[in-house]
Amino acid sequence: MKRTIKKILIYVVLAIVSFLCIFWFYELFINATRSNGELASGFSFLPGTALVKNWNSMLHCALPVMSSMKNSLIIALASSFLCSYFSIMTAYGIHAFCFKGKKLFYTIMIGFMMIPRQVTVLGFVSMVDKMHLMDSFLPLILPEIACPIVFYYMIKYMESTLPMSLLEAARIDGASEFYVFNRIVLPLMMPAFAVQMIFKFVESWNNFFIPALILHDDTNKTIPIVISLLRSANFADSDNGLIYMVIAFSILPSVIIYLFLSRKIISGLTSGGMKG
């Protein structure tokens, strides 16, 4: 009896938490279909009548909504892929090889996790300016290759899933290190790769602070910058339906990436949790 009550309580709590997580997204998409007058009337569970109008307003907005989506997609995909790939490669170098200073290097990498990005941003922007890379995507992509948090996750996952005997057997068979890494290690690390790629994609997609300091030309702006401009007084007072439509539309790439990698994400988290 107690077991049944406990199970019911667990399901009730899970149902409430799930509802609270989904409800705000549902309401966002509902508001994207409503006009200014309908939004002013208050909360509604039902879709509005301005879906087509809001969509057309987004397509013909004075701000570069569609190009900013493309810019964000390029930056987020490139930075998340490179970060995940090179983090696995770094973790492989630490895990599979013995060399002088290995423990020191590992400690330094972990220590970098403690440094907030905001502390180094002024020096970073100054360096980017001196290198004449302002209004370029490179400063937003290349530094993401070195990500201590992703490296730490990768090496912990690798320690629990990659036996050294497998690497030694491949080397005895005459396989080069790049062959071992790309054909043996990387497939085994694919669940972790998918997990970290989706996390880094979302982080890069939502990044506002550093892109706002580097990207000044309208054609190079990312979607968080455009949304912030839409929410300024001039736009917010005139078309709230447009703002909701842009925000709802900006969520879709993250949802698509999640759905595309969902099996790998779930298996990776489950495996990491069980073995960790």
Summarize pLDDT for 140-158 with one digit per residue, the tens: 999 988 888 898 889 888 8
Question: What's phi and psi for 130, nearest 5 deg?
Answer: -65, -30
Q: Over 50: is that where the pLDDT of 274 sits?
A: no
CATH node for 62-275: 1.10.3720.10
Residues 38, 40: Cα–Cα separation, whole Å: 5
What's residue 84's pLDDT? 92
The pLDDT assigned to 85 comes to: 93
Binned at pLDDT 50, 70 and 90, residue 273 comes out as very low
Q: Is this prediction's pTM over 0.75?
A: yes
- Whole-number pLDDT of residue 234: 57
**Above pLDDT 70, what percent of the chain?**
93
N- to C-terminal Cα distance for the chain? 33
- 262 vs 24: which has the higher pLDDT: 24
Spell out the SS3 assignment of the chain: CHHHHHHHHHHHHHHHHHHHHHHHHHHHHHHCCCCHHHHHCCCCCCCCCCHHHHHHHHHCCCCCHHHHHHHHHHHHHHHHHHHHHHHHHHHHHHHHCCCCCHHHHHHHHHHHHHCCHHHHHHHHHHHHHHCCCCCCCHHHHHHHHCCHHHHHHHHHHHHHHCCHHHHHHHHHCCCCHHHHHHHHHHHHCHHHHHHHHHHHHHHHHCCCHHHHHHCCCHHHCCHHHHHHHHCCHHHHCCCHHHHHHHHHHHHHHHHHHHHHHHHHHHHHHHHHHHHC
**Residue ranges covered by each domain of the chain:** 62-275
* pLDDT score recorded for residue 200: 92
pLDDT at site 233: 55
Banded pLDDT at 205 (limits 50, 70, 90): very high
- The answer to whether 123 and 227 are in contact (CB under 8 A) is no
- How confident is the model at residue 183, as a pLDDT? 87
Comparison of pLDDT for 263 and 65, the residue scoring more: 65
Supply the pLDDT for residue 272. 45
81-113 pLDDT, tens digit per residue, is 999 999 999 999 888 888 888 888 888 888 887
